[in-house]
Amino acid sequence: MTSSPLDEARRLVEASSNVVVLTGAGVSTASGIPDFRGPEGVWTKNPEAERLSNIDAFTASSDVREAVWQRMLLRRDVVFEPNAAHRALAMFERTGKLKALITQNIDGLHIAAGSDPELVIEVHGYSRLSRCLRCGAELPTSEVLDRVAQGELDPHCRVMVGELVCDGLLKTAVVSFGQPLPVQEFARAEYLAKTCELLICIGSTLEVHPVARLVPKALERGARLVIVNADPTPFDHDADAVVRGDIPTVLGPLLGVTES
């Protein structure tokens, strides 16, 4: 009898001692966070929203910056909780097989679910901190949003540089289109992808570069590949197993973990 893709994926997990996981927006949709390019994606339903994620538009237009901060302010009190997929990955970590959890997500839900921050590599940045585009100073995004709520619609940096206020543009530490990925984080992700036995890609379209290039780099070094995604990806034909289905439902059985 031919085994199912889920059975084959589980067998590969059981046989591997060095596993790297790459997650995308599809892992967090069950937590109420929409993806970007899916049928109900943020950019699918509102193409103008994609412009707000472009660094050139952000730096060139105060109107764009105000729109970005207002959107974040409106969502500040919305609390998103980790779902069963995040929890399954945190439990899988306890097996000792997981060497890195590379995520394209900026929501911090892997860490909130209990994943070791030392293993989580946030290659697209994170929304919990904001950074000055001039001097590089960082501060909690919550502090910036407090200023926006008080009427500072286009907040600038207040750090003193010598005897002058920096006054550079503030932006969340999320990588926008046109910005490079964090150098150290991506270099680490690339090394771990190249040296793993098994790469599991979960909830990612695998179309956003340079992160998508981690897949062929892993394959070139002999890694096995499992893809868990609702829709086809460019690497399905290279995968040893492609699992379709509800990610929070299938991920625990695939990884061999169950919630108590």
Residues with a known catalytic role: 124
Q: Is residue 259 part of a domain?
A: no
- Cα of first residue to Cα of last residue in the chain, in angstroms, is 32
Q: Are 74 and 148 found together in one domain?
A: yes
pTM here is 0.89
pLDDT in tens, 40-67: 555 445 566 666 789 999 999 999 999 9
Rounded Cα distance between 233 and 189, Å, is 20
The residue among 105, 112, 169 whose CA lies nearest residue 135 is 169
**pLDDT tens, position by position, for the chain (260 residues)?**
568 999 999 999 999 999 999 999 999 999 998 765 555 555 445 566 666 789 999 999 999 999 999 999 998 888 899 999 999 999 999 999 999 999 999 999 999 999 999 999 999 999 999 999 999 999 999 999 999 999 999 999 999 988 899 999 999 999 998 898 889 999 999 999 999 999 999 999 999 989 999 999 999 999 999 999 999 999 999 999 999 999 999 999 999 998 76
Number of domains composing the chain:
2
Q: Are 45 and 168 found together in one domain?
A: yes
> Which residues constitute the domain of residue 63?
34-79+129-174
Q: Are 70 and 139 found together in one domain?
A: yes
